C-alpha cells in the first residue's frame, strides 16, 4: 500500500511558502503522493495553482486533488486547459484528479454556480476535459500523460459509482474508516465489472492527522471550524476522529492495508512542515 500526505490547506496556515516546503519534504521523505483539498468559502488554497507550485518544487511525487469540487469550475474549457497545462508542467504520470460534485451550497452561491444542476455540469466538464486531454479539442495543450489524467471520484451515490465505472480509474474516500471502505467496495467492484472494465478500480483512502505535543489542539483548531457548518456534534466528531498518536497512525496503516486499499493519504492539520518528518518517522519512511 502506498502512503501519501495531504497539505494542511484547511488549517490556519499563514505562509504559502510553508506549503511548498511541505511538498519538498514530502518528496524527500519518500511519500507516494502529495494531495490538496478544495473549498471556495474558506482559506483553502486553490488546488491547481497549489499543485503547480508543488510540481515546480519537486520531480517525482504524485500530485492529487483530494477532492476538487469540479462543478464550481463553470468555464469547462478554461478548466480543462488549466488541468492539461498542469499535467505538462508536472510531467507524465504525476497528476491525478480526485473529483466530487460538492456538498455545501454556500460554495456554489459565492461562485455564482447553480447548485441544483451541479451533477449535469460535472458530466459536461468531464466530457470537455477528455477531449482536451486527447488533443481532440481546439483548446490545448493536450495532456502529457498517455491515456489522459487518472480520475478518482469521491462520494457514495449511484452517480459516483457511474462516474467511477465509466470514466474513472477508481474511488477516493474522504475522512475514511476501515469499516466504511469495507462496506462500500463490494458495490464498487460490481459496478466496475458490470461496466466491463478489466482489473479492479483503484481505492484511495484519506484520513486526518497531526502529531507531536500539540496535536490535539491542532486538529481542534483546524477541523472544528471547518466542519462547523454541519453542527457542533459533527465538528467535534471530526476532530475526535483525527489520528494524533503514533499508535493510531500505525494501526490505520495496518487496517487499511489489510482490506486492500491501494493508497492511504494522511491529511495534515498542523501547518508546521515538521509534521512531514514526524509522520515519515512514525511509519518508517
Range of the domain at 252: 2-67+144-154+161-283
What's the structural domain count of the chain?
1
State the burial class of residue 65 (Cβ atoms within 10 Å of its Cβ: 0-12, 13-18, 19+). buried
Q: With contact defined as beta carbons under 8 Å apart, do 63 and 94 qualify?
A: yes
Residue 132 lies in a domain: no
Helix (H) or strand (E) holding 63: strand 62-69
The tens-digit pLDDT sequence of the chain (285 residues) is: 999 999 999 999 999 999 999 999 999 999 999 999 999 999 999 999 999 999 999 999 999 999 999 999 999 999 999 999 999 999 999 999 999 999 999 999 999 999 999 999 999 999 999 999 999 999 999 999 999 999 999 999 999 999 999 999 999 999 999 999 999 999 999 999 999 999 999 999 999 999 999 999 999 999 999 888 888 887 787 888 999 999 999 999 999 999 999 999 999 999 999 999 999 999 999
CATH for 169:
3.20.20.30
Residue 126 in domain: no
150 inside domain: yes
Separation of alpha carbons 258 and 278, rounded Å: 24
- Specify the DSSP class assigned to residue 45: P
Residue 32 CB partners (closer than 8 Å, separation 6+): 2, 3, 4, 61, 62, 263
Evaluate whether residue 112 is within a structural domain: no
Q: What is the pLDDT of residue 234?
A: 74
Q: In 107-148, which ranges are E strands? A: none
| Three-state secondary-structure class, residue 17 | helix
3-state SS, residue 157: coil
Distance CA 59, CA 9 (A): 21
pTM: predicted TM-score of the whole model, two decimal places: 0.96
In this structure, is residue 83 part of a structural domain?
no
Q: Is residue 185 part of a domain?
A: yes
Confirm whether 271 is domain-assigned: yes
Helix, strand or coil for residue 39? coil
Amino acid at each position: 500500500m502506498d502512503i501519501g500526505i495531504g497539505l494542511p490547506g484547511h488549517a490556519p496556515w499563514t505562509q504559502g511558502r510553508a506549503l511548498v516546503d511541505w511538498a519538498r519534504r514530502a518528496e524527500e521523505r519518500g511519500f507516494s503522493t502529495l494531495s490538496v483539498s478544495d473549498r471556495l468559502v474558506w482559506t483553502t488554497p486553490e488546488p491547481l495553482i497549489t499543485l503547480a507550485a508543488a510540481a515546480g518544487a519537486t520531480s517525482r511525487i504524485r500530485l492529487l486533488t483530494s477532492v476538487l469540487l469540479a462543478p464550481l469550475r463553470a468555464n469547462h474549457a478554461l478548466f480543462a486547459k488549466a488541468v492539461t497545462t498542469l499535467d505538462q508542467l508536472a510531467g507524465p504520470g504525476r497528476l491525478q484528479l480526485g473529483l466530487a460534485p460538492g456538498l455545501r451550497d454556500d460554495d456554489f452561491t459565492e461562485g455564482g454556480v447553480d447548485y441544483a444542476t451541479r451533477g449535469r455540469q460535472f458530466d459536461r466538464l468531464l466530457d470537455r476535459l477528455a477531449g482536451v486531454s486527447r488533443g481532440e479539442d481546439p483548446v490545448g495543450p493536450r495532456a502529457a500523460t498517455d491515456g489522459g489524467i487518472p480520475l478518482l471520484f469521491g462520494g457514495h451515490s449511484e452517480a459516483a459509482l457511474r462516474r467511477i465505472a465509466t470514466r474513472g480509474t477508481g474511488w477516493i474516500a474522504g475522512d475514511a474508516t476501515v469499516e466504511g471502505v469495507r462496506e462500500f467496495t463490494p458495490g464498487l467492484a460490481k459496478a466496475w465489472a458490470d461496466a466491463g472494465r478489466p482489473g479492479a478500480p483503484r481505492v484511495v483512502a484519506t484520513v486526518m492527522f497531526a502529531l507531536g505535543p500539540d496535536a490535539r489542539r491542532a486538529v481542534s483548531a483546524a477541523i472544528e471550524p471547518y466542519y462547523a457548518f454541519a453542527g457542533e456534534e459533527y465538528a467535534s466528531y471530526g476532530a475526535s476522529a483525527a489520528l494524533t498518536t503514533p499508535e493510531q497512525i500505525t494501526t490505520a496503516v495496518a487496517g487499511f492495508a489489510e482490506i486492500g486499499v491501494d493508497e492511504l493519504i494522511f491529511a495534515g492539520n498542523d501547518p508546521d512542515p515538521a509534521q512531514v518528518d514526524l509522520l515519515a518517522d512514525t511509519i518508517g519512511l
